[in-house]
């Protein structure tokens, strides 16, 4: 087998750089996500250096990173308790769409876009980044917080919406018929609904099937199943993240705890790769032309996302401090927005010019707001008592 010296060297340098950036972030008590994004941006098109040999590995690793992030998140909860939270959170889905999709559509209308362009902008401002949010909750040690189930329910409801939205946008952007778009939507939503029902009713058997005393075999079984389910979710135009999250929910008890501990090192490695890949896929030159518009839209939808997340937490009976933490945790947009850019960017360049800096602004603003929301002094300034 021929070994690529360039691949090994570039990948080694990238990982070494991430080590330094991660250490710096920990030292100044910040999330490393923005620093990893900057690293990817510096290595991508229009950046200061490029890593062509390692680029393909980083893009593949990014997909695995999202899957592992959501798998380990799902292992924190049971499918029964999460199903209760999902039912309670259905009203928050409408609030989320109203507060966050509408600003994007209005921005598209003001910029003179046609209905497809407006639809693309609505999706970009609507959906939070499952991968970024889950990593942020881990960095801030909030996975066990009272508001976290509400945050996760919002993410899953958004990803569920994407199962209908992405087929619709794909067909319409390609000039397809409304009938073909509706058919594609029905297949995707039906498959995802069936997966939820199967996980709820028969998921408890999965733990017994995957359980094994040998850590290596348990790791291989859980990871293998997760990747298969994630692939099936992508095949029906749903989210690989939702598929991985479902697998995590179905595992409970000792099996779930052992699997989670085994996955953590892999998750942390590939999560860092994911954030670098997001930056790598971005052309730095695209961040400048529509920057003022992107900043304005980012500020508006940061506020509306905080409001939507706060509403979801309130439905779960969470106090005002938790509502603020829930809302700020959801501010970041990411992988779905980049997918939408990829679908329409060739036809609607203005969407790409706005959405690219928009994603990066919120990727930086989100962690800062989330950390500030947990600080007693900041909460006090906003009139939120730090306790409760």
15-63: per-residue pLDDT in tens? 999 999 989 988 877 778 888 888 888 887 777 788 888 888 898 998 8
Give CA–CA dist 199/205, Å, rounded: 10
> 169-216, pLDDT tens digit by residue?
888 887 777 777 778 778 777 777 777 777 777 766 777 788 888 999
Ordered by start, the domain boundaries in the chain are 61-381
Please report the pLDDT score of residue 377 as a whole number: 62
pLDDT at 388: 44
Q: Which range has the worst mean pLDDT, 50-64, 123-137, 229-243, 247-261? A: 229-243
| pLDDT reported for residue 105 | 96
For domain 61-381, the CATH architecture is Up-down Bundle (1.20)
Contact between 110 and 338 under an 8 Å Cβ cutoff? The reply is no
Burial of 12 (0-12, 13-18, 19+ CB in 10 A): exposed
Element (H, E) at 193: helix 178-202
Between 97 and 144, the more confident residue is: 97
State how far the Cα of 353 lies from the Cα of 291, in Å rounded to an integer. Answer: 8
- Checking if the pLDDT of 315 tops 80, the result is yes
Residues ≥6 apart with Cβ < 8 Å to 207: 250, 251, 252, 253, 255, 256
pLDDT at residue 306, rounded to an integer: 96
How many whole angstroms separate alpha carbon 375 and alpha carbon 363? Answer: 20
Out of 27-36, 95-104, 122-131, 191-200, pick the least confident.
191-200
């Amino acid at each position: 087998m021929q070994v690529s010296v360039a691949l090994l060297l570039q990948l080694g340098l990238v990982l070494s750089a991430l080590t330094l950036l991660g250490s710096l972030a920990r030292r100044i008590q910040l999330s490393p996500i923005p620093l990893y994004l900057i690293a990817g941006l510096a290595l991508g098109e229009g950046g200061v250096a490029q890593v062509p040999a390692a680029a393909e590995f980083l893009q593949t690793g990014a997909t695995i990173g999202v899957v592992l992030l959501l798998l380990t998140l799902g292992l924190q909860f049971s499918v029964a308790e999460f199903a209760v939270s999902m039912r309670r959170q259905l009203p928050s889905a409408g609030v989320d769409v109203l507060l966050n999709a509408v600003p994007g559509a209005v921005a598209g209308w003001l910029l003179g876009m046609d209905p497809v362009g407006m639809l693309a902008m609505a999706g970009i401002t609507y959906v939070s980044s499952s991968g970024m949010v889950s990593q942020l909750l881990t960095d801030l040690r909030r996975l066990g917080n009272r508001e976290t189930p509400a945050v996760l329910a919002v993410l899953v409801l958004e990803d569920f919406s994407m199962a209908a939205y992405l087929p619709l946008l794909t067909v319409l952007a390609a000039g397809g018929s409304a009938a073909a778009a509706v058919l594609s939507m029905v297949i995707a939503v039906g498959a995802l609904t069936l997966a939820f029902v199967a996980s709820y009713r028969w998921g408890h058997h999965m733990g017994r099937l995957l359980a094994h005393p040998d850590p290596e075999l348990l790791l291989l079984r859980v990871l293998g199943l997760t990747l298969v389910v994630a692939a099936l979710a992508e095949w029906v135009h749903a989210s690989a993240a939702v598929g991985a999250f479902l697998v995590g929910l179905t595992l409970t008890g000792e099996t779930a705890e052992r699997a989670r501990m085994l996955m953590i090192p892999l998750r942390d490695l590939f999560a860092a790769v994911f954030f670098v890949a997001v930056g790598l896929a971005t052309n730095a030159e695209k961040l400048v032309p529509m920057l003022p518009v992107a900043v304005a839209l980012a500020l508006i939808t940061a506020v509306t996302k905080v409001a939507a997340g706060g509403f979801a937490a309130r439905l779960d009976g969470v106090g005002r401090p938790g509502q603020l933490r829930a809302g700020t945790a959801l501010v970041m947009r990411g992988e779905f927005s980049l997918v939408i850019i990829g679908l329409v960017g060739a036809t609607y360049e203005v969407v790409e010019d706005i959405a690219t800096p928009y994603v990066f602004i919120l990727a930086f603003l989100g962690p800062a707001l989330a950390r500030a929301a947990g600080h007693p002094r900041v909460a006090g300034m906003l009139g939120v008592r730090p306790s409760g």
